[in-house]
Chain A
Amino acid sequence: MDDERINLSLRVNGATHRIEDAWYFETLLSVLRYRLALTGTKQACETGSCGACTVLLDGRPINSCIALAADVDGDVTTIEGYSPADGSLTPLQEALLAAGDVQCGYCLPGMVLAGSAFIEEHPNATEDEVREGMCGNLCRCTAYLSMIEGIREASAR
């Protein structure tokens, strides 16, 4: 069983973390949540179907639930690293909240990170661009109305 444990080093939110005795099959999500206590990354489907576990890898959104931790090579940004250190909100976070219908909020960290990458690539996004570009993030509470609105607003240049 010993060879089932591996040591990893991961760059997360600008710092390098050495993780000892992880299972060889552990996902990035599992390492972030249960070994680095970065629980802002949410666990929800484990099949890459919902986007709640979205993190940025070198600036691009990926599903951390189906990324093998041993195969992650690059800079990982989680919601903890994305959010301003002074406790405030980025314009995107503020726009998502102001637009109204956040409910349970379990999808929100993933939505914020996917949205941050989306608005980088889509200035002044149209409604259809948001619907396509954010289709990897499920929300079960809302009708997505204010998410579309908030992300459009945050994409305005």
Chain B
Amino acid sequence: MTVTSAMSGRVVRPTSLEEAITACTQRPDARIMGGGTLVVAERALGISTTPAYLLLSGIPELHGVTPGGAAATGGPSRIGAQTTLRALLDAALSPMLDVALRSLATPQIRNRATVGGNIAERRPAHTLAPCLLALDASVGSAGPDGTRRRSIRDFVAEGLGEGEIIVDVALPARGGFQRFVRVAPRNGPGYAIASVAVSIDPTGRSVHSGIGGSGSTALPGTAADDFLAEAIDWASGAAPAGAAEEYGRLLAAACDPPTDDRASAGYRRHAIAVMGRRLIEAWNEEQQRG
């Protein structure tokens, strides 16, 4: 603890989840903060004057990664909301997360930014939500009305309630193909223009995807995923000719991307379609290689 007066009225650092929820109720104007990489910058930029901070860093049960079992047979992996992106990267849970985390920020940011912070505000440019959609994750949260666990789909659609805090993210054991790709205005770190995460699990015969940067929040590619799960010949693993193209088209059709000063809606749709197509081509190539 670095705050000697444990609770200045404006910096609250609870040491248990229960305390945190109480603090949220008592201080509804407080900005809930994981690593602060977004929240602290806001004040410097004059975006918000942030009357108070509620720090989640002192709550032991929000920390840590518990790896799950082997694909299909094991239990889920649990990722505490306060897990830093660096700790998540080190946990090596998924090849998709590996690439996504390495692309999404700098080493300095990864050492501070948290999993909860990356998904809490459901910002469309943030990277984890599309990955979690593709990994079919669930989000555990706690609030004044108790705790709940929701699918990441519901979470990105609904967000957090008043005074609610993300507790953890659970990743079901999932094998097979897992990829994340993005297009961005520069090759170095920064927010993507659009991104696509896809996982194809031959054991469970399921396809899940998430799309980033192309709506008001990350979007699941449900129609495309359903199409592909039907189209794939699961015995051989191959998707038929034209399926990759159609998959990309369906992904793009699921989006209502914005036109902003980075890219037009048209480019975003195009990029999503191309990314979707190439990912399924990569899946097919993996199948052919065996």
Does A8 have its Cβ within 8 Å of any Cβ on chain B?
yes
Q: B8 near A24 (CB under 8 angstroms)?
A: yes
Number of interface residues of A (CB under 8 A): 40
Contact between chains at B2 and A9 (CB < 8 Å) = yes
A79 interface hit (Cβ, 8 Å): no
For residue A73, CB closer than 8 A to chain B, the reply is yes
Contact status A63-B33, CB under 8 Å: no
Chain A contacts of B43 at CB under 8 A? 25
Q: Which of chain B's residues has its CB closest to A64's CB? A: B108
CA distance A3 to B55 in the complex (A): 17
**B-side interface size class:** 35 or more
Q: Nearest Cβ in chain A — how far from B2, in angstroms? A: 5
Taking the closest CB of chain B, its distance from the CB of A133, in whole angstroms, is 6
A38 part of interface (Cβ distance < 8 Å): no
Looking at A43-51, A83-91, A93-101, the stretch in contact with chain B turns out to be A43-51
The distance in angstroms between the C-alpha atoms of A7 and B37, with both chains bound, is 22
Which residues of A have CB within 8 Å of B13?
A: 70-71
Inter-chain contact A46/B44, CB cutoff 8 Å: yes
Q: List B contacts of A136 (CB < 8 A).
A: 105-109, 189
**C-alpha gap A29/B254 in the complex (Å):** 43
Mark each residue of chain A from 129 to 150: 1 if its CB lies under 8 Å from any CB of chain B, else 0: 0001111110000000000000
Give min CB distance, A146 to chain B, whole Å.
Answer: 18
- List the A side residues contacting B45 at CB < 8 Å: 46-47
Question: Could you tell me the distance in whole angstroms from the C-beta of B285 to the nearest C-beta in chain A?
Answer: 23
Whether B4 pairs with A135 at a CB distance below 8 angstroms is: no
Report A1-21 CB contacts with B as 1/0, cut-off 8 Å.
001111111100000001000
Q: Provide the bound-state CA to CA distance between A47 and B37, in Å.
A: 8
Assuming the contacts A27-B44, A73-B2, asked whether A63 and B9 have C-beta atoms less than 8 A apart, the reply is no
Contact of B10 (CB < 8 Å), options: A4, A9, A47: A4
Chain A residues within 8 Å of B, Cβ to Cβ: 3-10, 18, 24-25, 27, 46-48, 51, 54, 57, 60-63, 65-73, 114, 117-118, 132-137
Given contact pairs A6-B3, A27-B40, A68-B33, a sample of 18 additional A-B residue pairs in the complex whose CB atoms are under 8 Å apart: A4-B10, A25-B43, A46-B41, A47-B45, A48-B112, A51-B108, A61-B108, A63-B106, A66-B40, A67-B40, A68-B11, A68-B40, A71-B33, A71-B55, A73-B2, A134-B107, A135-B106, A135-B107
